[in-house]
């Protein structure tokens, strides 16, 4: 297990961390004081049984959900109290998100889907599509550029989604059960490419999974149970990346 | 054991040491065979008429008797290949025994601690195998072996995860 | 941190939809066009000046009747606009999914607002241009053919003294217009109508978006989650009851018998309370009827319909609200009609003609409102196609599915229509009274007779049955989509 505190983090490093995150849905507590820190380029698996709060933690870190208490820091800045607009903009620039399925826009082609974050950031259509095609090529689905998601297999759609998540060369990639809907071979190909691309680009990957074989692609594991980090407390070290 | 040797000989005639080397090439992640064990097995197979001695290869070094699979040997090999493996006839893995005893003689906390350490060890090994498998330089034999091991470790881990949740109930049930 | 998306991107994302989105854009455009034509017609009547005419219809000849005509035309655009609201919901689940997917792709809430505005503005703008174009073209084309030689009533008002006038009516033969095609409508008016309607549609779509959180995981409709409240229904009952006993309270409490502003205000307020209560209360009726029927029926069609109704009472109530509003106004109109027919001279056909015209307008309104049911049912069929396909795959006959969809729209509508019509009637009888006085006989020998105003049972019956039949017909027409939507291939649809 890599020790976060052993790595000196420069002020500008794309370190993502959380301190004392609390989140509940109505009366259901999903996270009770979770702290966490991932260094730039690290691939961390977030594991735990169903309902342990993995997805909730990921969504809080990605700024999609706002925790009730605690702080989320990224690159030395606090992001959990930023406005919805600012957090959305982060999601299309420095973050990438990848879910089990359903994140592609059904009405757009693969290339257009991949180009979406660029277009939303004000890119011109032609340039955005050119970048998107390169991205599709990188994950081995260049031939799908003009195909709509409904005509793809689950594995193909997931590669396109991966190309989209990586198209902005994000600092952090948030993946929630990205291979949950795929068979083991298709899942393996997606994970292999995901980790390869992440390591090449120095992207931090937070990989939520309940499968050990998926967690084995990560450098280390953060295990949740009933909304808290599992295991002896001294194993967990954290702090805002300053 | 005898079928493994028969199978390797079915691929071509070999002498004893070659059988051992072939075995290591085909099953790279397995525990290596002892040469003595290979020779003993070959003798037993020859006694039963399943293999026969071929020529003697003398090139550079000591005499080496090469063996070949007889038609009876090939028939036996195919009979064995078509036979279904009994699915886990006895349940008694070291892991299971240890955890059960830990709950019985120690306490829940000890069992949980043991499971947690075992889990970490399993995951470390899985990480290693995954890295090996993802390496483009790995041969197919290595990838197949890693797949096999990963699936079994994964099954173990799933059991460990469930066991960790069950330990409390388990101990309640087993302590009178 | 980064730039905002280009306008071209926003428009592209807004216009980039599936079949349902194209249908929504076209329907919104068409309905907006109709509304623009209606409003421009109203403006045309309002702009009839002393130099315009003559016209064959007395409604256009008498300046005193113009406000009534204008109000009728403007009121007719209410069901049209409601229809536009219904059209905005075509393919809503697919659109919601698309918007959520945009959000997941990094679109900010403000981007989503702009995208929705672009789409709605595009559709309504197209419709508005089309409507204004059709109106102007129609006016130009129809001007010749509808100007005929015929008789018209010429009214001359001469002041015969400081306080007295003499009114001279004579039938004159000359060139008359069937329609006010000769009115010169200022361009500014055309522009204001053509711009304000799409603008209003966009604002309305933003307003609708306000009650909605477009999160990256889908659209959460705040209003749809809470169970329907019974309070609006209470509003409806109290409003109707107060109107029903209005004249009795007025006479006993010594309020003036004339239409003084305070009394008018009270009556209008009570009517509004009734209408709003009914529109909001229909969801409670839907949910109640659904739960009640579902726990008792053994008919599969009825069971599916009732369960769907109980699960989403707001969806069907949205489609039914306008129908009920029209039914209530219809009930009130029939009450007024009965009153006027009894108290006016049967020889004067003016009243009967006007009342018949009102009924025609009412019929148009019912058809327009029922078109909302068509849109709603067609949309239900298309958007729940995965559900329908899986039901069909599980062996539910298509006929049962058709019947259940039909029942889903009629189940809450039937009792509610009866209630709404009765409420309108009761309210008018309560305000105008159940008796009236008629004076007849020669001057100075006049006899004042107290007449009972009959309850127009037949008209009420026709109104209720007609409304339900029209709605059923429209819903039935929409069921042509069932065959396509139960195609096993639809099981693959990501719904
Ligand atoms: N939208 C929601 N509304 C209400 N409760 C929720 C919601 N989402 C999650 N929860 C609850 O919060 C807890 C944590 O949920 P979460 O989705 O984070 O778990 P998870 O570890 O991702 O589970 P899984 O492996 O099943 O995806 C659970 O008890 C769940 O029931
Ligand atoms: Mg989850």
Q: What is the pTM of this model?
A: 0.69
pLDDT in tens, C258-271: 666 777 788 888 88
Residues contacting C371, CB < 8 A, separation 6+: C83, C474
Q: What was the pLDDT predicted at A208? A: 94
Q: What was the pLDDT predicted at C104? A: 80
Q: What was the pLDDT predicted at A236? A: 41
Nearest residue, CB atoms, B154 vs list A213, A218, A219: A213
Contact B127/A49, CB-based, under 8 Å? no
Do C and A touch (≥3 CB pairs < 8 Å)? yes
Query: Three-class SS of residue B55?
Result: strand
Residues of chain A positioned with their CB less than 8 A from the CB of C9: 119-120, 122, 125
Q: What was the pLDDT predicted at A18? A: 92
Q: Is B37 on the interface with A (CB under 8 A)?
A: no
Contact B127/A212, CB-based, under 8 Å? no
Of A219, A110, A125, give the one whose Cα is nearest residue A158: A110
User: pLDDT grade, residue C254 (50/70/90)?
Assistant: low
Residue pair C267/C431 in contact (Cβ under 8 Å)? The answer is: yes
Nearest residue, CB atoms, B157 vs list A49, A196, A212: A212
C-beta of A109 in contact with ligand 1 (< 6 A) = no
pLDDT tens string for chain B (176 positions)? Answer: 788 888 888 888 888 888 888 888 888 778 888 888 888 988 998 998 888 887 766 665 566 788 888 899 898 888 888 888 777 666 667 888 887 787 777 777 777 788 888 888 999 999 999 999 888 888 888 888 899 999 999 998 888 888 877 775 655 555 54
Of B145, B157, B146, B147, give the one whose Cα is nearest residue B95: B157
What sign results for the dihedral spanned by CA atoms C256, C258, C264, C267?
Answer: positive
Burial class (CB in 10 A: 0-12, 13-18, 19+), B68: middle
Query: Three-class SS of residue B1?
Result: coil
Q: What was the pLDDT predicted at A172? A: 93
Query: Three-class SS of residue A136?
Result: helix
Residue pair C215/C96 in contact (Cβ under 8 Å)? The answer is: no
Residues of chain A positioned with their CB less than 8 A from the CB of B151: 213
Q: Is B139 on the interface with A (CB under 8 A)?
A: no
Q: What was the pLDDT predicted at C480? A: 77
Which CATH code fits B2-82?
Answer: 1.10.10.10
Residues of chain B positioned with their CB less than 8 A from the CB of A212: 122-123, 126, 153-154, 157-158, 161
Q: Is the pLDDT of residue C101 over 80?
A: yes
Q: In chain B, what is the straight-line distance between the N-terminal and C-terminal CA atoms, in Å? A: 44
Specify the ligand 1 atom closest to the Cα of A227: 14
Residue pair A87/A79 in contact (Cβ under 8 Å)? The answer is: yes
Q: What was the pLDDT predicted at C424? A: 87
User: pLDDT grade, residue C228 (50/70/90)?
Assistant: low
Burial class (CB in 10 A: 0-12, 13-18, 19+), A25: exposed
Q: Is the pLDDT of residue C90 over 60?
A: yes
Domain ranges of chain B: 2-82, 94-174
User: What is the A175 CA–ligand 2 centroid distance (Å)?
Assistant: 10
pLDDT in tens, C374-409: 888 887 777 777 677 777 777 777 788 888 888 887
- Residues C171-196 have a mean pLDDT of 84
pLDDT in tens, C360-371: 888 988 998 888
Tokens at C263, concatenated: 């009394």
- Residues C230-252 have a mean pLDDT of 79
Domain ranges of chain C: 1-148+182-224, 226-495
Residue pair C239/C120 in contact (Cβ under 8 Å)? The answer is: no
Upper half-sphere CA count for residue C163 (Cβ side, 13 Å)? 0
Q: What was the pLDDT predicted at C211? A: 66
Residues C99, C18: Cα–Cα separation, whole Å = 13
Q: Is A216 on the interface with B (CB under 8 A)?
A: yes
Q: Is A199 on the interface with B (CB under 8 A)?
A: no
C-beta of A55 in contact with ligand 1 (< 6 A) = yes
The ipTM estimated for the assembled molecules is: 0.74
Of C130, C134, C124, C131, give the one whose Cα is nearest residue C25: C124
Q: How many residues does chain B have?
A: 176
Specify the pairing of strand B14-15 against strand B64-69: antiparallel
Collect the ranges in chain A with pLDDT lower than 50.
1-11, 233-242
């Amino acid at each position: 297990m890599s020790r976060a505190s052993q790595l000196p983090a420069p002020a500008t490093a794309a370190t993502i961390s959380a301190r004392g995150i609390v989140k509940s849905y109505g009366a259901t507590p999903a996270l009770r004081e979770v702290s966490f820190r991932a260094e730039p380029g690290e691939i961390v698996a977030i594991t735990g049984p169903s309902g342990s709060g993995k997805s909730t933690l990921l969504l809080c870190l990605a700024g999609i959900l706002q925790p009730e208490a605690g702080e989320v820091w990224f690159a030395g800045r606090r992001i959990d109290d930023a406005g919805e607009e600012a957090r959305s903009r982060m999601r299309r620039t420095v973050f990438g998100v990848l879910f089990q399925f359903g994140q592609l826009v059904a009405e757009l082609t693969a290339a257009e889907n991949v180009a979406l974050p660029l277009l939303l950031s004000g890119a011109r259509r032609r340039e955005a599509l050119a970048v998107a095609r390169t991205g599709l090529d990188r994950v081995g689905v260049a031939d799908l550029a003009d195909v709509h998601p409904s005509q793809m297999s689950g594995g193909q759609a997931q590669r396109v989604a991966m190309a989209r998540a990586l198209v902005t060369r994000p600092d952090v990639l948030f993946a929630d059960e990205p291979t949950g809907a795929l068979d083991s071979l298709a899942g393996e190909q997606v994970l292999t490419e995901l980790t390869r691309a992440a390591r090449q680009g120095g992207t931090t990957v937070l990989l939520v999974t309940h499968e050990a074989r998926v967690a084995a692609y990560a450098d280390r594991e953060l295990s949740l149970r009933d909304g808290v980090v599992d295991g002896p407390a001294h194993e967990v070290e954290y702090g805002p990346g300053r | 054991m005898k079928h493994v040797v028969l199978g390797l000989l079915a691929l071509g005639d070999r002498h004893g040491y070659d059988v051992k080397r072939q075995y290591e090439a085909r099953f790279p992640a397995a525990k290596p065979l002892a040469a003595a064990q290979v020779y003993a097995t070959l003798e037993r197979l020859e006694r039963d008429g399943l293999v026969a001695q071929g020529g003697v290869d003398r090139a550079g070094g000591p005499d080496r008797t090469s063996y070949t699979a007889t038609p009876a040997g090939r028939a036996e090999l195919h009979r064995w290949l078509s036979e279904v493996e009994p699915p886990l006839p006895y349940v008694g893995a070291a892991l299971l025994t240890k955890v059960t005893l830990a709950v019985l003689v120690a306490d829940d906390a000890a069992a949980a601690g043991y499971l947690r350490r075992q889990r970490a060890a399993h995951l470390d090994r899985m990480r290693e195998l995954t890295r090996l498998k993802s390496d483009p330089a790995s041969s197919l034999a290595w990838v197949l072996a890693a797949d096999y091991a990963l699936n079994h470790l994964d099954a173990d881990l799933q059991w460990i995860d469930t066991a960790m949740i069950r330990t409390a109930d388990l101990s309640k049930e087993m302590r009178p | 941190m980064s730039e905002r998306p280009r306008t071209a991107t926003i428009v592209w994302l807004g216009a980039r939809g599936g079949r349902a989105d194209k249908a929504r854009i076209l329907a919104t455009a068409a309905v907006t066009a109709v509304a623009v034509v209606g409003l421009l017609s109203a403006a045309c009547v309002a702009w009839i000046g002393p130099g315009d005419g003559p016209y064959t219809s007395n409604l256009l000849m008498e300046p005193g009747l113009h406000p009534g005509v204008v109000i009728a035309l403007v009121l007719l655009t209410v069901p049209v606009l409601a229809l536009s609201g219904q059209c905005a919901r075509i393919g809503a689940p697919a659109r919601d999914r698309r918007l959520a997917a945009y959000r997941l792709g990094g679109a900010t809430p403000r981007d989503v607002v702009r995208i929705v505005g672009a789409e709605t503005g595009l559709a309504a703008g197209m419709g508005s241009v089309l409507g204004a174009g059709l109106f102007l073209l129609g006016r130009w084309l129809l001007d010749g053919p509808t100007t005929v030689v015929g008789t018209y009533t010429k009214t001359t008002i001469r002041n015969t003294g400081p306080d007295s006038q003499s009114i001279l009516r004579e039938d004159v033969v000359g060139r008359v217009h069937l329609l006010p095609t000769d009115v010169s409508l200022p361009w500014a008016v055309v522009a204001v109508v053509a711009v304000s309607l799409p603008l209003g549609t966009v604002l309305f779509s933003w307003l609708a978006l306000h009650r909605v959180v477009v999160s990256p995981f889908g659209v959460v409709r705040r209003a749809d989650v809470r169970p329907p409240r019974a309070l609006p229904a209470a509003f409806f009952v109290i409003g109707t009851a107060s109107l029903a006993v209005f004249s009795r309270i007025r006479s006993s409490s010594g309020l003036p018998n004339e239409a003084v502003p305070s009394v008018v205000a009270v009556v209008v307020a009570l009517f509004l309370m009734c209408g709003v209560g009914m529109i909001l209360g229909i969801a409670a009726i839907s949910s109640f009827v659904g739960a009640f029927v579902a726990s008792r029926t053994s008919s599969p069609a009825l069971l599916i319909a009732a369960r769907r109704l109980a699960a989403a009472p707001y969806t069907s109530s949205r489609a039914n609200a306008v129908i009920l509003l029209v039914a209530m106004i219809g009930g009130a109109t029939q009450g007024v009609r009965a009153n006027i027919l009894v108290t006016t001279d049967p020889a004067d056909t003016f009243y009967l003609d006007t009342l018949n015209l009102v009924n025609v307008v009412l019929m148009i309104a019912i058809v327009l409102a029922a078109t909302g049911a068509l849109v709603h049912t067609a949309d239900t069929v298309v958007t729940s196609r995965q559900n329908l396909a899986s039901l069909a795959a599980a062996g539910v006959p298509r006929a049962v599915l058709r019947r259940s969809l039909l029942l889903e729209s009629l189940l809450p509508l039937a009792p509610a229509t009866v209630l709404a019509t009765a409420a309108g009637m009761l309210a008018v009888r309560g305000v105008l009274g159940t008796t009236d006085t008629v004076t007849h006989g020669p001057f100075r020998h006049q006899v004042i007779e107290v007449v009972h105003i009959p309850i127009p049972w037949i008209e009420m019956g026709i109104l209720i049955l007609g409304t339900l039949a029209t709605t059923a017909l429209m819903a039935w027409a929409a069921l042509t989509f069932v065959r396509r939507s139960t195609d096993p291939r639809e099981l693959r649809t990501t719904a």
